[in-house]
């Protein structure tokens, strides 16, 4: 924990909470307008001044066109306020400035160590925008801490047992909803997947409840009354809601549950989608925790429990969990928290070793089983070009699977002594991908040179068969490296998960190619001909299985697509079609890469759920 007084601010879409924390562990919430919760809404007055909190809400009744209920949702944009264009960053800065002023009174002076909580789905541009707003508020250059990571740090700091390697689901339901799957690694928490839905939170419940209550719409004053009633219904069975016209209506807990259920069902579906995006099942999770003001409604926990089959833990103080966690974190930079650990998990070593071994096996079998024709010294060789292509493809797969490891090693090598390497940072990831692709290409070229020298043949055909099959993958890997370097996107599960190729596909295709080559070159003794031919057919079938395993994930699709493809590859397997079989598998690998980059970097599960740039 830092040795200085710290200010942690959780600036949300609807409300803002902040805490001041001292090195001895004491903390206190920042109070504004007599409340520990400050509304994020603002109002732009006629003189261009920005009113915040209760003052903004009171003025909104008279001047609704100047009222902005959620400035954060217009990040990086100008907002039209009564015909005037106002930068959203200026509106956010007004609220942050009030927090900073009150924090100085609590701390007895300026607070230099400032942390800002941001959604896990925010990309570099939005994070930079938030930094700019903080700078305009006089907060300097704050550390940014991802909200679910701050919540997880808060749980750890207060006794929750979560072993390294465990998965935690954080369901944050405030004005909107953000659901995140975290994995605890040796260097901190890693965000595996995060999805957001601004229409699945307290704001949507407020509007639904207001529409369900009798009476006329009284503008922003009516919205404020309904929101207050909703918050009180978490502890009471019925609440009287005053209307702007002077009358009152009664809101009941039953009515609130009826209006909130459709919204919270969206949260439940978002939870299921996030777990699936992390390629996990509910049984893989070590726990589910609920944070945010809306989770104080009992129905929120009930819906999540129904959808996941797990009992969620509602944090005792859901409004301040993220702010307190951000104050507790010891990370050098909040943006580094949750990124990839220095070393990939040990289980990923298998994904590097299998294609590496298969690559060596392919080139060795090719050289040892080459067909020689003619009579010395006029003999000539007929190499298995398909095996050279497969050896090259497997070499690239193995190297790319170790891409983040290579990037970590490069970052460590370039870090001055006595300083820690910055794990998972974009430059290291980009360098790792480029290094991996360069190494894979160099190995493929080396295979071509060694084979040409060994067989005393022209090197041109060997280079073509070694390099052309991996050229599309090299282009796609270069595109991924550019994305990593520019920090345009962070794939769900991190870069290590993005680069991991299905090991089962490599095993099937490598074994299949070995059997086809054996069938083409084995001595055909009369009593072995049938078995040799069957080995070749089985090898062709396995190559088809390997291609389908790379192309599809659901088992039902693998059966539907794999059966005909496997029959085709088994039928055409022969000494003359080894190159065609290798081409089929190389095409499958390229298609896998295209689909991987498209679904994890270009297009997220839904536009509303995508991490913002």
| Euclidean distance between CA atoms 516 and 240, whole angstroms | 80
C-alpha distances out from residue 388 to 326, 351, 353, Å:
53, 21, 19
User: What whole-number distance in Å separates Cα of residue 455 and Cα of residue 373?
Assistant: 12
- Cα 68 to chain centroid distance, Å, stands at 31
Q: State residue 584's pLDDT score.
A: 92
C-alpha to C-alpha distance for 582 and 577, rounded to whole angstroms = 9
In which band, very low, low, confident or very high, does the pLDDT at 420 lie, cut at 50, 70 and 90? very low
pLDDT tens, 318-342?
Answer: 888 888 888 876 544 434 333 443 3
- pLDDT value at residue 407: 62
Q: What are phi and psi of 484, to 5 degrees?
A: -65, -40
φ/ψ (deg, to 5) at 199: -95, 15
Secondary structure of the chain: what % helix, strand, coil (to 5)?
55, 15, 25
Q: What is the rounded average pLDDT of the residues 183-191?
A: 84
Per-residue pLDDT, 376: 57
- What pLDDT score does 334 carry? 39
Calpha distance 329→157 (Å, rounded): 9
Helices 503-521 and 578-597: crossing angle in degrees, nearest 10, is: 170
Mean pLDDT score, 519-542: 85
- Look at 415 and 301; give whichever has higher pLDDT: 301
Cα separation, 42 vs 58, in Å, equals 11
Cα separations in angstroms, 565 against 17, 391, 444, 547, 557: 58, 22, 28, 9, 12
Cα angle 606-611-612, degrees, rounded to a multiple of 5: 110
Q: Which two tokens stand for residue 331?
A: 């990370």
pLDDT at 236: 76
- What's the rounded Cα separation, in Å, for the pair 381 and 367? 10
Q: Is 264 exposed, middle or buried (0-12, 13-18, 19+ CB in 10 A)?
A: buried
Taking CB atoms within 8 Å and a gap of at least 24, the contacts of 376-382 are 381/455, 381/456, 381/457
User: What's the CA gap between 318 and 296, in Å, rounded?
Assistant: 8
Contact 41, 67 (CB under 8 A): yes
pLDDT tens figures, 65-119: 888 888 887 665 778 887 788 888 899 999 999 999 999 998 888 888 899 999 9
pTM (2 d.p.)? 0.56
Pairing mode of beta strands 188-197, 177-185:
antiparallel
Q: Based on the number of CB atoms within 10 Å of its own CB, is 3 exposed (0-12), middle (13-18) or buried (19 or more)?
A: exposed
Cβ–Cβ under 8 Å, residues 188 and 340:
no
CB 287 within 8 A of CB 163: no
Residue 105: which residues within 8 A CB-CB, separation 6 or more? none
Residue 423, pLDDT above cutoff 60: no
**HEC profile of 538-586:** HHHHHHHHHHHHHHCCCHHHHHHHHHHHHHHHHHHCCHHHHHHHHHHHH
Q: Using the 8-state DSSP alphabet, how is residue 491 labeled?
A: -
Query: What backbone torsions phi and psi does residue 456 show, to the nearest 5 degrees?
Result: 55, 50
pLDDT above 70: residue 612: no
Closest CA to 271 of 202, 177, 162: 177
Alpha-carbon 565 to chain mean position: 33
Sign of CA dihedral 59, 63, 64, 68: negative
Average pLDDT score over residue span 571-590? 90
The overall average pLDDT reported for the chain is 82
Q: Which domains does the chain have, with CATH numbers?
A: 1-141 (3.30.420.40), 163-319 (3.30.420.40), 346-609 (no CATH)
Whether residue 33 is predicted with pLDDT greater than 90 in this model: the reply is no
Residue-wise pLDDT for 432-471, tens only, equals 888 899 999 999 999 999 999 988 889 999 999 999 999 9
Dihedral sign for Cα 591, 409, 153, 37, please.
negative
């Amino acid at each position: 924990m830092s040795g200085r007084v710290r200010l942690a601010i959780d600036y949300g879409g609807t409300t803002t909470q902040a805490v001041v924390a001292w090195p001895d562990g004491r903390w206190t919430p920042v109070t504004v307008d007599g409340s520990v919760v400050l509304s994020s809404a603002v109002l732009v007055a006629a003189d261009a001044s920005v009113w915040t909190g209760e003052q903004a809400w009171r003025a909104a009744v008279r001047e609704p066109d100047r009222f902005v209920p959620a400035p954060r949702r217009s990040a990086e944009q100008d907002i039209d306020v009564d015909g005037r264009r106002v930068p959203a960053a200026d509106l956010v800065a007004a609220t942050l400035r009030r927090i900073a002023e009150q924090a100085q009174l609590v701390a007895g002076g300026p607070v230099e160590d400032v942390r800002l909580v941001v959604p896990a789905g925010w990309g570099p541009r939005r994070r930079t925008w938030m930094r700019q707003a903080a700078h305009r508020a006089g907060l300097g250059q704050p550390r940014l801490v991802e909200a679910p990571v701050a919540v997880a740090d808060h749980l750890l700091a207060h006794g929750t047992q979560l072993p390294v390697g465990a998965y935690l689901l954080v369901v944050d339901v405030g004005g909107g909803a953000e659901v995140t799957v975290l994995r605890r690694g040796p260097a901190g928490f890693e965000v595996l997947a995060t999805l957001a839905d601004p229409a699945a939170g307290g704001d949507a419940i407020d509007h639904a409840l207001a529409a369900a209550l009798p009476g006329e719409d009284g503008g922003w004053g009516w919205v404020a009354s309904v929101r207050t009633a909703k918050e009180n219904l978490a502890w009471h069975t019925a609440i009287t809601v005053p209307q702007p016209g002077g009358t009152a209506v009664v809101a009941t807990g039953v009515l609130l549950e009826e209006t909130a259920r459709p919204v919270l069902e969206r949260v439940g579906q978002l939870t299921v989608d996030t777990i699936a995006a992390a390629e996990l099942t509910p049984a893989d999770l070590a726990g589910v925790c609920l944070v945010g003001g809306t989770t104080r409604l009992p129905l929120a926990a009930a819906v999540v429990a129904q959808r996941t089959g797990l009992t969620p833990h509602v944090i005792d103080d859901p409004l301040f969990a993220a702010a307190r966690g951000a104050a507790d974190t010891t990370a050098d930079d909040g943006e580094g928290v949750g990124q990839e650990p220095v070393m990939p998990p040990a289980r990923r070593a298998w994904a590097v070793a299998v294609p590496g071994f298969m690559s060596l096996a392919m080139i060795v079998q090719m050289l040892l089983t080459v067909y020689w024709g003619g009579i010395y010294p006029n003999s000539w060789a007929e190499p298995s070009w398909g095996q050279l292509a497969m050896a090259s493809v497997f070499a690239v797969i193995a190297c790319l699977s170790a891409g983040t490891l290579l990037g970590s090693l490069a970052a460590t090598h370039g870090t001055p002594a006595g300083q820690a390497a910055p794990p998972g940072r974009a430059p290291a990831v980009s360098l790792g991908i480029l290094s991996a692709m360069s190494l894979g290409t160099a190995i493929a070229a080396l295979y071509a040179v060694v084979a040409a020298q060994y067989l005393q043949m022209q090197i041109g055909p060997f280079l073509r068969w070694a390099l052309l099959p991996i050229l599309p993958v090299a282009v796609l890997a270069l595109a991924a490296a550019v994305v990593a370097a520019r920090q345009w996107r962070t794939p769900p599960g991190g870069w290590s998960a993005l680069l991991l190729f299905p090991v089962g596909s490599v095993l099937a295709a490598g074994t299949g190619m070995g059997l086809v080559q054996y069938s083409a070159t084995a001595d055909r003794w009369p009593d072995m001909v049938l078995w040799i031919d069957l080995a070749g057919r089985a090898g062709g079938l396995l190559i088809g299985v390997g291609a389908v395993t790379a192309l599809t994930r659901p088992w039902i699709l693998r059966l539907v697509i794999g059966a005909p493809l496997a029959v085709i590859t088994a039928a055409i397997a022969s000494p003359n079609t080894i190159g065609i079989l290798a081409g089929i598998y190389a095409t499958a690998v390229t298609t896998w890469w295209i689909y991987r980059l498209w679904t994890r970097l270009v297009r997220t599960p839904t536009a509303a759920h995508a991490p913002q740039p």
